[in-house]
Amino acid sequence: MRWALLGASRIASSYVIDAIRAQQGAEIVSVLSSDAGRGRAYAERHGIAGSVTDLDAALGAEGVEAVYISTTNEKHHPQAMAAIAAGKHVLCEKPLATELSQAVEMVTAAREAGVVFATNHHLRNAGAHLAIREAVASGRIGRVLSMRVFHAVSLPEELRGWRVADAAAGGGVIPDITVHDADTVRFHLGEDPATVVARAGESGLGQGVEDSVMSVWSMPSGAMVQAHESFTHPHAGTGLEIHGTEGSIVARGVMTQEAVGEVWIEDAEGRHALKFETHNLYHRALGLFTAAARGEGRPSADGVDGVKSLAVALAVREAARSGRAVDVDYGG
Ligand code: NDP
């Protein structure tokens, strides 16, 4: 499958170019950058045949079937709409857009055009998360009572640009990390948060956008979820806990891009390690996306998953701003 990259981004450099190329017959034809020099240098660095500054040129290149969108967040919507109109399959970075109506429009357009549209929520591809979900779904811990997600990290120096200072580009920890946690909670619990309360603030890095947030979500089953995301916590570590009537799942170091971490179950008999696969998260996501584009199966996270994670994140932000409980609006 021939690909165009929309965005000369770090995430493509670090993970996604490699994952695309791990798929049989995959080829990256060009990269779109708003800056000709940066695009050229990026293409050379990654052995990509061409670089362009014009979206139509990227979409019009011969034989391109799929695009990967990893520009800043406010560009995802217009670029996805153009790619869908050109009949391309789309793998879009999270958050799908800066407004819910835009994300809904993207997913609707893709459905009508008959192209695959996926959201790059990498975490649900991790062996650790797949094992956790299986344990929850099989009833291993009984009825789920609550879940806690620990995702307060220290944002690496090289990422302290638009993410911490540019609201218009979709900056802030809520669109960056809360969306991932929303997807992870939905993935494990199999239900969509109904109502949220939250507090957010700037704790050292944010300039006009929040760099830290804590929130509590009510689930339709009655389970409660607590989530903590931050850019300013160098030593907190990541993880999650899911507590059920018959046991608790505890996972440490699993809210990450690598196939690492430790997972165990605590129950009346003691502590039991939960084994999991250690495949590359992004390779799995690209494998499922490629198969879906060939008409087999579905991507690991589709467009609706991206709409829902964005909906939760926007509700968390609204709850933090207003100080009120906010019902999550999934766009109908
Ligand atoms: P980057 O900041 O690396 O890239 C975003 C845009 O910034 C690029 O499209 C590029 O514009 C511009 N840019 C890149 N480098 C420079 C530079 N040196 N000087 C000026 N501008 C530059 O973003 P990320 O890779 O961190 O994130 C991109 C998207 O991917 C976001 O939507 C983010 O939320 C998502 N993401 C997802 C992850 C996941 O695991 N699912 C992980 C990390 C990010 P141009 O293209 O015009 O050259």
**319 CA to middle of ligand 1, Å?**
27
- Three-class secondary structure of residue 205 per DSSP: coil
Mean pLDDT value across residues 257-280: 98
Ligand 1 atom having least distance to the Cα of 257: 40
- Three-class secondary structure of residue 257 per DSSP: coil
- Dihedral sign from CA coordinates of 91, 192, 197, 255: negative
Mean pLDDT, the chain, integer: 98
Phi, then psi, of 20 in degrees rounded to 5: -65, -45
CB of 290 closer than 6 A to ligand 1?
Answer: no
Q: Which of 5, 10, 173, 310 to mutate to test the pocket of ligand 1 (most atoms within 8 A of CB)?
A: 10
- Take residue 32 and report the two structure tokens written for it: 């779109």
Which residues, other chains included, contact 17 with Cβ-Cβ below 8 Å and sequence gap of 6+?
Answer: 5, 28, 46, 48
By alpha-carbon position, which residue is closest to atom 18 of ligand 1?
38
CB of 9 closer than 6 A to ligand 1?
Answer: yes
Map out the domains of the chain with their CATH numbers: 2-121+283-300 (3.40.50.720), 123-276+310-327 (3.30.360.10)
By alpha-carbon position, which residue is closest to atom 17 of ligand 1?
38
The rounded distance, in Å, linking the Cα atoms of 120 and 90 is: 10
**72 CA to middle of ligand 1, Å?**
6
Q: What is the pLDDT of residue 273?
A: 98
Q: Map tokens 């217009």 to a residue.
A: 78
The rounded distance, in Å, linking the Cα atoms of 97 and 78 is: 9
Q: In this predicted model, what pLDDT tens digit does every residue of 231-246 receive, in sequence order? A: 999 999 999 999 999 9
Mean pLDDT value across residues 6-11: 98
Q: In this predicted model, what pLDDT tens digit does every residue of 103-118 receive, in sequence order? A: 999 999 999 999 999 9
Amino acid at 115: V
CB of 72 closer than 6 A to ligand 1?
Answer: yes
Half-sphere exposure of 118 (CA within 13 A, CB side): 25
Ligand 1 atom having least distance to the Cα of 38: 48
Mean pLDDT value across residues 131-150: 98
Q: What is the pLDDT of residue 55?
A: 98
Q: Above 0.95 for ipTM, yes or no?
A: yes
Would you tell me how many other CB atoms lie within 10 Å of the CB of residue 173? Answer: 29
Q: What is the pLDDT of residue 4?
A: 98
By alpha-carbon position, which residue is closest to atom 1 of ligand 1?
9
By alpha-carbon position, which residue is closest to atom 15 of ligand 1?
9
Q: What is the pLDDT of residue 216?
A: 99
**127 CA to middle of ligand 1, Å?**
26
- Whether 32 and 60 have beta carbons less than 8 Å apart is answered as no
Ligand 1 atom having least distance to the Cα of 73: 32
Q: pLDDT class for 326, splitting at 50, 70, 90?
A: very high
Q: In this predicted model, what pLDDT tens digit does every residue of 50-59 receive, in sequence order? A: 999 999 999 9
The rounded distance, in Å, linking the Cα atoms of 150 and 227 is: 6
Residue 177: is its pLDDT beyond 90?
yes
Q: What is the pLDDT of residue 240?
A: 98
CB of 11 closer than 6 A to ligand 1?
Answer: yes
Phi, then psi, of 84 in degrees rounded to 5: -65, -45
Of all helices (H) and strands (E), which one includes residue 241? strand 239-244
Q: In this predicted model, what pLDDT tens digit does every residue of 30-49 receive, in sequence order? A: 999 999 999 999 999 999 99
Cut 0.90: pTM above it: yes
Q: What is the dihedral of CA 18, 76, 256, 239, to 10 degrees?
A: -160
- Whether 182 and 313 have beta carbons less than 8 Å apart is answered as yes
- Whether 310 and 96 have beta carbons less than 8 Å apart is answered as yes
Residue 87: is its pLDDT beyond 90?
yes
CB of 71 closer than 6 A to ligand 1?
Answer: yes
> How far separated are the first and last CA of the chain, in Å rounded?
34
Q: In this predicted model, what pLDDT tens digit does every residue of 68-81 receive, in sequence order? A: 999 999 999 999 99
CB of 120 closer than 6 A to ligand 1?
Answer: yes
Residue 332: is its pLDDT beyond 90?
no
**95 CA to middle of ligand 1, Å?**
12
**299 CA to middle of ligand 1, Å?**
22
**Pick from 284, 263, 282, 285: nearest CA to 272:** 263
